Amino acid sequence: MSQPLRLFELQKIDSALDRARARLAEIEAALRGNPTVQKAEGEHESARIHHHEAQNALRNAEAEVGAQQQKIDSNQRALYGGSITNPKELADLQHEAEALGRHLARLEEIQLEAMVVFEEAEGALATALATLEAARATAAAEDQAMLIEQKALLAEVETLAGARNGLLPDIAVEGLTLYESLRKSRKGLAVVAVSEPECPACGATLTAAQAQAARSPNQLAQCADCGRIMVSG
């Protein structure tokens, strides 16, 4: 195999390694935190807090109604118990009974409103929990698929790295230095296969001499524009 073709082979291996490593990084990030699950967790937490607040508000409203009913009971016992006979006192108790009754009606309205809010919060919490559980189940299935893909990619990386190490001793130092430098400056793509009279990477038109040079097994032809090594494809 000629030096240019060895570099082209190296490029193919390195491009495959770049792709595999980029996908491995994506998988690692996805396995750390699934955005759909995180969003569902946030919404479930909001629903839980709202439900808790609505529950407290309902309990308070119920306690106030209960306390008001006790006041009314004690008023009614005084009013009808027979121990108070003074008409003025009885009239006062009667007025108090009316006022207590009006306030009870208001407290019962508040209790009813709190019940409605609480029932809505319960429904919202159940929905948020179902959404979260579905998101977790989907994520678990995706994670499982990604773990399988990750294992295959790690094996692929090992195979490619082995092939790369096997190829390196057969590549001349000057070519390798140029290749590594182009890999850094040209977004990982140092060698291109040329089949048309233009550079497939940057689009520069090749002269007949350059196209011929690309076909030569004895020299490294470079694109006059981007500097990439060209091999005949």
- Residues binding Zn ion (CB under 5 A): 199, 201-202, 204, 223, 225-226
* CB closer to Zn ion, 44 vs 228: 228
Provide the minimum distance between the beta carbon of 221 and Zn ion in the complex, in angstroms, as a whole number: 11
CA of residue 182 relative to chain centroid, distance: 36
Whole-Å CA distances, 128 to 133, 158, 178: 9, 44, 58
Angle, CA of 160, 168 and 199, to the nearest 5° = 80
What tokens appear for 56 in the block? 């407290």
* CB closer to Zn ion, 160 vs 201: 201
Provide the minimum distance between the beta carbon of 5 and Zn ion in the complex, in angstroms, as a whole number: 19
Provide the minimum distance between the beta carbon of 164 and Zn ion in the complex, in angstroms, as a whole number: 24
* CB closer to Zn ion, 128 vs 230: 230
What is d(CA 54, CA 118) in angstroms, rounded to the nearest whole number? 5
Provide the minimum distance between the beta carbon of 8 and Zn ion in the complex, in angstroms, as a whole number: 15
* CB closer to Zn ion, 10 vs 201: 201
What is d(CA 97, CA 166) in angstroms, rounded to the nearest whole number? 99
